[in-house]
């Protein structure tokens, strides 16, 4: 038996030598010699991720079975020897066998421990310098290569720990198993043999001997188990220490690998170092491991290997925090670009789809996001699918080209309208234009306009939007495809006008339709809300500050910064949109020109389209000019024009010449949409922007509606949020109680508030029309320095400056009289006094109605306001409440004032029906607001039978008599022919109807609109 044990040890030594020289052969031998439980452990540990340390593991595993077999064979003779004649010899042999077995177990443990240490060191060195293998399926090659040193080190540390632990466990299990086997054999074999060969008397001593042998075997097994545990603890301590050192080394190697220019170079460098180490005299096992690793570095991993790798990584992660961190980093570094896995071996079925480890999925997702953020991905050509296994190019990606489906930029043609989506339709016929069907709009791809950004100007002012040049460059960037509704459902009912096709492009009409469909229902709801509130006022309720918005009024906040070209608005001029007025106003020397589509324009179809053409030419034409056909005088836009702002119509008006889905579009949306669509980008490119005045708002809810319109427009046209700026006219009594709220709703888009004094007077009368305690005196006695007008203007200044917005003064309606110097001097004196009051109160600018008044107002503001504005004038002394805002001025009602209201009302309505919105009457530039005041006062005086200062009570009969007499006076003033061939008869009839109506008509322009084309 001793000879057998020696032969067994020789075989084990030979096997160890073979394994060191040929790892593949050693692996096979180990598998055939290991027990069923040991085979399972070897399979679990032989993973694709741990290929680098496979040889070291195999060596350790082979030595473990060798030790087990040696122990088993050394103990076997003691079990099979029979008592009897050779009792003494058997006892001696058993003792020798026990001694032999203990010595062999001790040598096997020591050899395993030494082999584990040597393998750990060799594998760690090899892993730190040898290149890692190809990444598995779903893992990017580039990331895999860059993380090879760190991966190899992490694998080595894990492998060393696993080897030591498995060695100790195998030794303990084998010893226990051998002891059990010896006990069983002692119970069966020895009694039978003793009975057959010895006399009956020898049975008792034989049993005692057998029991002693069993006891000795048990002690030997317990001793071996204790030694195995001690060896495991020692190995674990040493492995932990080695692991810490290798973790630091791996971090350094990972950093170095990341800084390499390309993963390929880093891998080549690592491979070179590994070869150099091998040539310097590495141990045989280490050389073999490095050689095997280098030979298999380029082989792709299978899905099977990936699955096993994930399991091993999870097990090791639970044991040590350092290894967990390193494994996680390694996995994330590898997940960049997927590679195709080879066919699975027939010995194992393919893994089920979607069964990837959650840890691997999270790591892959994080790495994928990092990879996408780190480098741009060129867009796919139209109609071409990119393969799932496509490699990410390592070279710098080319500049992303515009896909074929995207529009191409238009050449810089200043007079051309920007082309946005949908196929172009033919020019409209004379009377009715129906747009093409939805199917036709799909025949061509959508296009968009691109305006070249203007180069940033040096020294552009900051603090508003960081300079107009910067805003222009942003806004002039390629606009996105706005994807608006198709042309179906849009009908243009107006007559064809020269160049109207430049304004009513299919794309522009689509934009109008989109706004209509989105915001028209809300507009109607707002008008209903107005009517409901007016009923409450008619029932006796008075306007007041809203309790539910107290926090907005009391909380500190500011509006968004104001563009630099709107920081100085000391004088603004207003007027209609005809070509001559536009040129003269822009050249007037005023800081701002407000082109008015509302009160100063009669909304005939020709006026509206012509006005849009003129404003478009301001931004797109090489030069805006006009020649008077009567005199031949030529008007040309100067080099320093005023900043252009546009006032669309109020919410109450519609544009009946354009229908969307069978309903007329809102006039406010029509005017705003066409101007913004055609000119927003061009205005920004020239250092300005899309600036507007908003008329006749009555609540902050209406301001919210406008803010939503602005947001939608900015999104649709590719403008940055806050690009559109608006100044709100506070020209209604309810709005005066919600100024803070209005600014708050529009705080990203608002530039200021304006005192629209004439409309405000009209609104005061209209709002309190059925309250006999609020009857006003003659219009000429209702002035800005008294009562409710003074209170509201002071409150407006305080509110605006508190919020960082401009407080604009009101209109000076006087016009010069060049033919009469005395009357001219009187008019200019009134203008000067009015502007001195405004600048003294703290206004940041004012309005004038005629170019000759610009120098007068400019001189006053230059003298009294040296800075660009008075935003620092907070007016904390102002204390205005409901009583002050409803304070009626003291004055008288005279017959002269009564009759003047009739003449002004009739003359203005006649001019408005004839296509003129701004009319000079009695040395004042009158607009729709003036006519509204005239007819509203007469209605109220007649409603309550007001008495004139001479005691005459006003009645309907007196009104009809005065109307007839004043009509004849108008005939004499304008001439018989002008009166007969004009539209005075219609104007007189309308004025008569409005003045004697049972219910107060909200706006005279609503019934008057039905009388124009």
Site of tokens 């889905």 = 661
Other residues' Cβ atoms within 10 Å of the Cβ of residue 672? 27
> In three state form, how does the secondary structure of 208-257 look?
HHHHHHHHHHHHHHHHHHHHHHHHHHHHHHHHHHHHHHHHHHHHHHHHHH
CA-nearest of 910, 777, 784, 931 to 847 is 784
Residues 6+ apart with CB under 8 A from 983: 910, 913, 914, 1011
Angle at which helix 36-45 crosses helix 23-33, to 10 degrees, equals 140
Handedness of CA 45, 47, 50, 52 (dihedral sign): positive
Calpha distance 604→611 (Å, rounded): 11
In this structure, what DSSP letter does residue 832 have?
H
Residue ranges with strand state E in 671-824: 691-694, 725-730, 750-755, 806-812
- H runs (alpha helix) in 639-755: 667-685, 700-717, 733-736, 739-745
Q: Hey, what are 317's tokens? A: 């992660």
- Residues 568, 751: Cα–Cα separation, whole Å: 12
Work out the angle between the directed axes of helices 956-974 and 928-944 (0-180°, nearest 10): 150
Three-state secondary structure along 273-304? HHHHHHHCCCCHHHHHHHHHHHHHCCCCCCHH
How many alpha carbons fall within 13 Å on the CB side of residue 122? 27
* C-alpha span between 161 and 144 (Å, rounded): 24
Residues identified as active-site: 647, 927
DSSP 814: B
Structure tokens at 160: 């060393």
> Which of 707, 696, 791 shows the shortest CA–CA distance to 746?
707
Q: Is 349 exposed, middle or buried (0-12, 13-18, 19+ CB in 10 A)?
A: exposed
User: What DSSP letter does each residue of 942-1002 carry, written as one string?
Assistant: HHHTPBPTTSPBP-HHHHHHHHHHHHHHHHHHH-HHHHHHTTHHHHHHHHHHHHT-SS--S
At residue 1007's C-alpha, the angle toward residues 1003 and 1013, to 5°, is: 125
Q: Give the C-alpha separation, 167 to 113, whole Å.
A: 8
* Rounded CA separation 984/913 (Å): 9
What's the CA gap between 645 and 999, in Å, rounded? 36
Note every long-range contact of 245-251, with CB atoms under 8 Å and residues 24 or more positions apart, other chains counting. Answer: 246/124, 246/128, 246/153, 246/156, 246/157, 247/153, 247/157, 247/322, 247/323, 247/326, 249/128, 249/153, 250/128, 250/149, 250/150, 250/153, 250/154, 250/326, 251/150
Give the separation between CA 612 and CA 614, rounded to whole angstroms.
5
- Phi first, then psi, for residue 693 (nearest 5°) are -110, 135
Return the SS3 of 794: helix
Question: Closest Cα partner for 945 from 933, 958, 954?
Answer: 954
CA-CA-CA-CA torsion sign (928, 929, 935, 936): positive
Q: How far is CA 211 from CA 182, 185, 192, 205, 215, in A?
A: 11, 12, 15, 10, 6
H-type alpha helices, 444-549: 468-475, 500-503, 506-538
Q: Give CA–CA dist 43/61, Å, rounded.
A: 11
């Amino acid at each position: 038996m001793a000879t057998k044990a020696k032969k067994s040890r020789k075989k084990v030594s030979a096997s160890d030598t073979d394994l060191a020289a040929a790892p593949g052969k050693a692996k096979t031998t180990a598998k055939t010699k290991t027990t069923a439980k040991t085979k399972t452990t070897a399979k679990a540990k032989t993973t694709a991720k741990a290929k680098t340390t496979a040889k070291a593991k195999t060596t350790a595993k082979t030595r473990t079975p060798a030790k087990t077999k040696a122990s088993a064979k050394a103990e076997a003779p003691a079990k099979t020897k029979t008592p009897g004649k050779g009792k003494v010899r058997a006892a001696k042999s058993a003792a020798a066998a026990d001694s032999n077995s203990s010595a062999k177990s001790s040598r096997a443990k020591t050899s395993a421990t030494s082999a584990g240490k040597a393998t750990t060191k060799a594998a760690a060195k090899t892993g730190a310098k040898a290149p890692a293998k190809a990444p598995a399926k779903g893992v990017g090659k580039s990331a895999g290569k860059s993380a090879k040193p760190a991966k190899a080190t992490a694998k080595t540390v894990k492998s060393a720990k696993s080897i030591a632990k498995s060695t100790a466990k195998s030794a303990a299990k084998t010893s226990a198993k051998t002891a059990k086997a010896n006990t069983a054999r002692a119970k069966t074999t020895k009694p039978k043999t003793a009975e057959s060969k010895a006399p009956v008397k020898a049975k008792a001593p034989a049993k005692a001997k057998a029991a002693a042998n069993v006891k000795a075997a048990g002690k030997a097994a317990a001793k071996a188990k204790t030694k195995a545990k001690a060896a495991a603890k020692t190995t674990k301590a040493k492995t932990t220490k080695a692991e810490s050192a290798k973790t630091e080394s791996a971090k350094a190697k990972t950093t170095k690998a990341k800084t390499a220019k390309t993963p390929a170079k880093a891998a080549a460098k690592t491979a070179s170092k590994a070869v150099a180490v091998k040539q310097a005299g590495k141990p045989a096992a280490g050389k073999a491991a490095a050689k095997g690793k280098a030979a298999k570095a380029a082989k792709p991993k299978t899905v099977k290997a990936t699955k096993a790798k994930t399991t091993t990584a999870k097990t090791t992660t639970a044991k040590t925090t350092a290894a967990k961190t390193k494994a996680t980093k390694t996995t994330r570094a590898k997940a960049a670009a997927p590679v195709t896995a080879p066919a699975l071996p027939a010995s194992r079925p393919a893994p089920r789809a979607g069964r990837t480890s959650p840890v691997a999925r999270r790591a892959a997702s994080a790495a994928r996001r990092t990879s996408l953020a780190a480098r741009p991905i060129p867009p796919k050509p139209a109609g071409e699918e990119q393969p799932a296994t496509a490699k990410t190019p390592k070279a710098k990606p080319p500049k992303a080209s515009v896909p074929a489906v995207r529009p191409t930029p238009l050449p810089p043609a200043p007079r051309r309208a920007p082309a946005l989506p949908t196929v172009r339709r033919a020019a409209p016929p004379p009377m009715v234009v129906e747009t093409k069907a939805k199917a036709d709009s799909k025949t061509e791809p959508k296009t968009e306009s691109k305006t070249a950004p203007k180069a940033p100007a040096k020294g552009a002012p900051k603090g508003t939007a960081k300079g107009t040049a910067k805003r222009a460059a942003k806004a002039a960037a390629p606009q996105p495809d706005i994807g608006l509704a198709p042309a179906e459902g849009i009908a243009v009912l107006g007559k064809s006008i020269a160049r109207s096709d430049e304004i009513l492009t299919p794309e522009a009409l689509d934009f109008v339709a989109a706004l209509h469909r989105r915001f028209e229902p809300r507009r109607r709801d707002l008008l209903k809300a107005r009517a409901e509130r007016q009923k409450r006022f008619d029932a006796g309720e008075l306007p007041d500050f809203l309790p539910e918005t107290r926090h907005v009024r009391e909380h500190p906040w500011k509006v968004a910064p104001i563009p630099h070209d709107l920081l100085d608005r000391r004088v603004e001029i207003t007027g209609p949109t005809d070509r001559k007025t536009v040129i003269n106003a822009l050249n007037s020397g005023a800081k701002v020109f407000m082109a008015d589509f509302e009160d100063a324009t009669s909304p005939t179809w020709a006026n509206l389209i012509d006005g849009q053409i003129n404003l478009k030419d301001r931004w797109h034409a090489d030069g805006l000019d006009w020649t008077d056909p009567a005199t031949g005088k030529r008007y040309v836009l100067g080099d320093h024009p005023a900043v252009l702002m546009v006032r669309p119509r109020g919410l109450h008006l519609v544009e009946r010449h354009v229908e969307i889905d069978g309903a007329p579009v809102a006039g406010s949306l029509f005017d705003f949409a066409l101007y913004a669509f055609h000119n927003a980008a061009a205005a920004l490119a020239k250092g300005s922007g899309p600036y507007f005045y908003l008329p006749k708002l009555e609540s902050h809810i209406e301001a919210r509606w406008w803010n939503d319109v602005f947001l939608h427009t900015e999104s649709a046209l590719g403008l940055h949020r806050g690009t559109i700026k608006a100044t709100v006219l506070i020209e209604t009594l309810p709005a005066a109680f919600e100024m803070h709220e209005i600014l708050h709703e529009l705080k990203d888009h608002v530039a200021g508030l304006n005192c629209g004094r004439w409309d405000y007077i009209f609104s005061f009368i209209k709002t309190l029309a059925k309250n006999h305690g609020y009857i006003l005196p003659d219009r000429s006695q209702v002035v800005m320095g008294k009562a409710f007008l003074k209170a509201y203007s002071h409150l407006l200044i305080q509110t605006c400056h508190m919020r960082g917005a401009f407080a604009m003064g009101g209109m000076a309606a006087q016009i010069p009289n060049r033919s009469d110097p005395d009357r001219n001097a009187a008019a200019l004196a009134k203008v000067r006094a009015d502007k001195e009051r405004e600048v003294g109160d703290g206004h940041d600018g004012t309005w004038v109605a005629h170019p000759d008044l610009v120098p007068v107002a400019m001189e006053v503001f230059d003298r009294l306001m040296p800075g660009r504005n008075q935003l620092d004038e907070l007016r904390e002394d102002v204390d205005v409440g409901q009583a002050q805002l409803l304070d009626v001025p003291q004055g008288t009602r005279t017959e002269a004032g009564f009759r003047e209201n009739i003449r002004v009302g009739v003359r203005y309505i006649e001019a408005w029906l004839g296509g003129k919105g701004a009319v000079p009457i009695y040395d004042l530039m009158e607009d729709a607001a003036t006519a509204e005041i005239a007819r509203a006062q007469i209605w109220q005086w007649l409603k309550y039978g007001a008495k004139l200062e001479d005691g005459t009570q006003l009645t309907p009969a007196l009104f009809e008599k005065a109307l007839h007499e004043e009509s004849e006076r108008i005939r004499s003033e304008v001439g018989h022919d002008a009166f007969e061939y004009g539209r005075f008869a219609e104007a007189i009839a309308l004025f008569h109807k409005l003045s004697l109506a049972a219910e107060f008509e909200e706006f005279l322009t609503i019934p008057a609109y039905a009388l124009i084309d």
